[in-house]
């Protein structure tokens, strides 16, 4: 395995499972000192153990990202304790799916509290730290194809992802002169606990979703992690302000089903 992140300090929000865990594992496998945060301590402990078993360096913080003040304080503490901050991955999301008829203003705002608000606060805090470092830093925001494509029942989630995408691109402009790169990955359907819960474990629904994807399957968390690590690495040193789809071709697809051709 290459060591793209030797001596780098990396924070991954929501790093205890799914895409965040796969990302933390990949950063650690490539030499990074990783800090993950989430709410459930047992899952955080298990994640850290899985990384240490592979000789990776990882620590955790129990944190609810809805508490944006504590999130900002945590980023500053990590940077002080480790002497620097090279990468922030804003991965965690809070989702409240409802049709508009059943969406309350409270639930609508819940969709924004982590996806948009914590992404803003985390990026603002990390940018200030990274701007002071001679080699800058990289921020990767985890979006969703829902940020630019519509379906029923996800208006709050989709609007929050679209807000985060737009913010991310503006942050890229403001960070560029200080070598702080800000990019997004845009996953389509990815097999995680969250996506399984969304289809309530119904394999028929999952199969139907998979058939609409040009590559005929959902993604694996490691495949999104690989894109995140690429954008965070020096290999992407001249890339900022991009939204990189990791979706088996779904966003590029024309509406004509391939079965008709
Ligand atoms: N899976 C997909 O198909 C898919 C598709 C497109 C985009 N995405 C995006 O990819 C990202 C990761 O999704 P995933 O499927 O990997 O999710 P997941 O498996 O449910 O993992 C979510 C992680 O975020 C943490 N988290 C949730 N709410 C939090 C809060 N308030 N404060 C701190 N941590 C919190 C969770 O831990 P705790 O619950 O312990 O806090 C967990 O570590 C999200 O931004 C999601 O929108 C996923």
Query: Does residue 3 lie within any of the structural domains?
Result: no
Confidence class of residue 87 from pLDDT cuts 50, 70 and 90?
very high
- Does any domain span residue 2? no
Tell the residue number behind the tokens 């409802």, with chain if given. 98
Q: Are 26 and 8 in contact (CB under 8 A)?
A: no
Q: Would residue 257 count as lying in a domain?
A: no
Confirm whether 259 is domain-assigned: no
In a domain, 237, yes or no: yes
What is the rounded distance in angstroms from the CA atom of residue 183 to the CA atom of residue 242? 5
Q: What is the pLDDT of residues 156-214, one digit of tens each?
A: 999 999 999 999 999 999 999 999 999 999 999 999 988 888 888 788 998 999 999 99
Contact 180, 127 (CB under 8 A): yes
Selection from 194, 191, 176, 185 nearest residue 89 by Cα: 185
Tell me, yes or no, whether 123 lies in a domain.
yes
In a domain? residue 47: yes
Q: How many angstroms does the Cα of residue 261 sit away from the middle of ligand 1? A: 37
**Which residue in 27, 71, 120, 157 is the catalytic one?**
157
State whether the beta carbon of 17 lies less than 6 angstroms from ligand 1. yes
Q: Which atom of ligand 1 is nearest to the CA of 40?
A: 40
Ligand 1 atom at minimal distance to the Cα of residue 15? 43
Is 60 considered catalytic here?
no
Q: Which domain holds residue 105?
A: 9-249
For the chain, the domain total comes to 1
20-40 residue pLDDT tens: 999 999 999 999 999 999 999
CATH code of the domain covering residue 116: 3.40.50.720
């Amino acid at each position: 395995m290459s060591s793209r992140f030797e001596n780098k300090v990396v924070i991954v929000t929501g790093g205890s499972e799914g895409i965040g865990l796969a990302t933390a594992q990949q950063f650690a496998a490539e030499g990074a000192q990783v800090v993950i945060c989430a709410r459930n301590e047992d899952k955080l402990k298990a994640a850290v153990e899985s990384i240490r078993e592979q000789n990776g360096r990882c620590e955790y913080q129990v944190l609810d990202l809805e508490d944006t003040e504590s999130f900002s304080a945590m980023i500053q503490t990590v940077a002080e304790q480790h002497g620097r901050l090279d990468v922030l991955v804003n991965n965690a999301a809070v989702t409240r799916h409802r049709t508009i008829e059943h969406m309350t203003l409270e639930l609508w705002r819940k969709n924004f509290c982590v996806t948009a608000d914590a992404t803003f606060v985390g990026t603002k805090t990390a940018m200030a730290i990274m701007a002071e470092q001679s080699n800058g830093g990289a921020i990767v925001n985890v979006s969703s194809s829902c940020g630019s494509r519509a379906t029923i029942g996800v208006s709050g989630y989709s609007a929050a992802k679209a807000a985060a995408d737009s913010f991310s691109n503006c942050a890229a402009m403001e960070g560029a002169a200080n070598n702080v790169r800000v990019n997004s990955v845009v996953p389509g359907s990815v097999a995680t606990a969250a996506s399984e819960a969304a289809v309530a474990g119904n394999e028929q629904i999952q199969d139907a979703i998979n058939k609409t994807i040009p590559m005929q399957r959902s993604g694996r968390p490691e495949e999104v992690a690989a894109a995140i690590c690429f954008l965070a690495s020096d290999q992407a040193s001249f890339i900022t302000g991009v939204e990189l789809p990791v979706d088996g071709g779904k966003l590029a697809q024309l509406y004509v089903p391939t079965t008709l051709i």
